[in-house]
A and B are shown apart, each in its own frame.
Chain A
């Protein structure tokens, strides 16, 4: 069961996403469990199924994954809700990122900043591999889908073909039942 949303609720909705923005190290998706706790468990503005469908839809559409936040906001409170959740999740992190980049760039040749970026580079590679692995999860019981994973890995690593063609191939193969 969901609870009706009032215009006055836009402010607490906004503030909750402002708070999550600063915790979203590694991307907004890492805070999804807390969004679920707040929107479904505490406020009852969404059902479990609505929450899951919102995230799945955003994963399938183009654009940064953070846009799932706008879909959640839209399903809670229409367009004002989408605006409020996106503004909340974006404002603090973008301000901080811009400030930190400028601070780091003016010192980019110093030993501290170089140790920071060079030291974290292997961890970044590990996180990319982990992300790739997690994304293959739905494909693992389908030979066709695993073939698509392998094909797109090799083609992208060895050629300069635009990824769009591979995505289109994946869509056609999937619609035809081969994924």
Chain B
């Protein structure tokens, strides 16, 4: 059950998948992940927060952008490969057209201090959006068989290695991943 207690819904068609993913992609300044969790879990209620975190974890270790992998997984889950294609095209098409238009215009406005100021302001907000998403996901770790303390320790270690030690992501995942998965495997023993 989602946290609000309201039942989950399902998209009615590939067209709806396309529309929702287009709208959420166009809101995603400086990254789409935070908008995706807001739109898919809280507004559309297609997934629970736990399911979103699960998809994010899988999307993270597969090659390719996380949000793109998540859109494929969600589309595929509801409408098979047609759904996956609808969600993927929704996620990419409109922002791509907009981005190429901006690339053509760029240079004419790059030196305007109001433009660079606006970009800085939007960047600050997008940092807040990502932090808020992390904050919300702490709740779903309470049910993790590893226990909240172990989870928070692993999370803190990840932050330390990425931010403090500046390890490449592949090393962090290759180093901590097997430990975390091994611990979970042991905790899940029948």
Write the residues of chain A forming the contact surface with B, with a CB cutoff of 8 angstroms.
21-28, 30, 53-54, 57-67, 70-71, 74-75, 79, 82, 86, 90, 92-94, 96-98, 100-102, 104-105, 111-112, 114-136, 138-139, 142, 145-146, 148-157, 160, 162-164, 166-167, 169-179
Contacts and interface: CB of A to CB of B under 8 A. Distances in A.
Contacts of B163: 130, 133-134
A156 to B, nearest CB: 3
Give the interface size class of chain B.
35 or more
A27 B56 CA distance: 12
The 9 closest A-B pairs by CB, nearest first: A174-B121, A63-B95, A126-B158, A93-B64, A152-B128, A156-B132, A119-B184, A170-B125, A135-B127
A139 B64 contact: no
The B contact surface, by secondary structure, is helix
Contacts, number: 366
A58 B103 CA distance: 9
Contact of B99 (A58, A150, A157, A174): A58
Contact of B169 (A26, A63, A146, A152): A26
B122 A167 contact: yes
A34 to B, nearest CB: 12
B165 to A, nearest CB: 11
A114 B188 CA distance: 8
B119 A174 contact: yes
Given A60-B123, A67-B95, A163 B62 contact: no
Interface in B138-190: 138, 140-141, 144-146, 150-152, 154-159, 162-163, 168-170, 172-173, 176-177, 180-185, 188-190
Contacts of A105: 77
A171 B65 contact: no
B130 A117 contact: no
B17 to A, nearest CB: 15
Given A70-B99, A135-B30, A122 B152 contact: yes
Nearest to B34: A163
B100 to A, nearest CB: 6
A161 B157 CA distance: 32
A139 B120 contact: yes
Given A64-B95, A130-B163, A149-B125, 15 more contacts: A24-B64, A25-B63, A62-B27, A66-B64, A66-B68, A93-B63, A97-B64, A97-B69, A118-B184, A127-B172, A129-B155, A133-B159, A148-B124, A162-B38, A163-B35
